[in-house]
């Protein structure tokens, strides 16, 4: 059974802290791994990763994939209150273009 | 960027009635759309994959007769919650992948919050 697990489930930090969110997966026919940020409604796209070891970066956010150990991390440096959200990891598989979502990590950044 | 529109955003209905939720891809064709359900403070749970021109593929444990999915065209998929009950109250989100630069990137609708009284 395909599985995507994120940890921690929730995290509370102070502004300025750096956080690392983890996503591990066990799927058949891996195609890509995606990170999303969900605030009140629909998730918004952050990164798509397909190759191991290549860091993707966008401002204070960065992410990397390890296809050997089957995990990805999402780093947020110098956190701000606006980073408070649920961060979702999804794995795309070739079969039927399916996407499987992880459990999500709820991040709260305190001023 | 690509836009997926979902309607209605909010719906309140009486127990026993049916509710239809629409998901439209506004600027690209989507042969596949996904329907998710999300409970408070939980992740997205894939309910079914909607395929244009063929039957939807349902995930294990999702009742086909309860959650009717129709992919009428390359830009429209609908989810009908039939004979809704309070336990069907949830946040339903659709998404569609688009081929292109970010192949496989999912575009999400705004979501529909269903409350069954």
Residue pairs between chains A and B whose CB atoms are closer than 8 Å: 59
Q: What is the pLDDT of residue A18?
A: 97
Q: What is the pLDDT of residue B3?
A: 86
Which tens digits make up the pLDDT trace of A5-17? 999 999 999 999 9
The alpha-carbon gap from B8 to the nearest alpha carbon of chain A, in Å, equals 13
Q: What is the pLDDT of residue A96?
A: 64
Taking residue B20's Cβ as centre, other Cβ atoms within 10 Å add up to 15
Q: What is the pLDDT of residue A97?
A: 66
Q: What is the pLDDT of residue A71?
A: 96
pLDDT band at A4 (very low <50, low <70, confident <90, very high): very high
- Chain-centroid distance of CA A102 in Å reads 9
A35, closest residue in chain B (CA to CA): B105
Q: What is the pLDDT of residue B1?
A: 60
| SS3 per-residue string spanning chain B | CCCEEEECCEEEECCCCCEEEEEEECCCCCCEEEEEEECCCCCEEEEEEEECCCCCEECCCCCCCCEEEEEEECCEEEEEECCCCHHHCEEEEEEEECCCCCCCCEEECCCEEEEEC
Assess whether pLDDT exceeds 70 at residue A58.
Answer: yes
Under-50 pLDDT residues of chain B: none
Q: What is the pLDDT of residue B31?
A: 87
Which tens digits make up the pLDDT trace of A15-53? 999 999 999 999 988 989 999 999 877 888 899 999 999
Residues B67 and B83: their CA atoms lie apart, in Å, by: 10
B106, closest residue in chain A (CA to CA): A45
Q: What is the pLDDT of residue B18?
A: 96
Q: What is the pLDDT of residue B41?
A: 73
């Amino acid at each position: 059974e395909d599985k995507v697990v994120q940890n921690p489930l929730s995290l509370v930090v102070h502004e300025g802290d750096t956080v690392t969110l983890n996503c591990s997966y066990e799927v058949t026919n891996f195609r890509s791994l995606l990170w999303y940020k969900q605030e009140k409604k629909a998730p918004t796209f952050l990164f798509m990763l397909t190759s191991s070891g290549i860091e993707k970066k966008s401002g204070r956010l960065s992410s990397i994939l390890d296809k050997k150990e089957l995990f990805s991390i999402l780093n947020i440096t110098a956190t701000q209150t606006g980073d408070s959200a649920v961060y979702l990891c999804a794995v795309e598989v070739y079969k039927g273009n399916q996407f499987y979502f992880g459990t999500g990590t709820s991040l709260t950044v305190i001023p | 960027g690509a836009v997926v529109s979902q309607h209605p955003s909010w719906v309140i209905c009486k127990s026993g009635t049916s509710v239809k939720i629409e998901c439209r891809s506004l600027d690209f064709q989507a042969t596949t759309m996904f329907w998710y359900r999300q409970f408070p403070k939980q992740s997205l749970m894939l309910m079914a994959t909607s395929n244009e021109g063929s039957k939807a593929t349902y995930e294990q444990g999702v009742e086909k007769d309860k959650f009717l999915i129709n992919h009428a065209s390359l830009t429209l998929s609908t989810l009908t919650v039939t004979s809704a009950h309070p336990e069907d109250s949830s946040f339903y989100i659709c998404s569609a992948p688009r081929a292109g630069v970010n192949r496989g990137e999912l575009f999400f609708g705004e979501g529909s919050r269903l409350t069954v009284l």
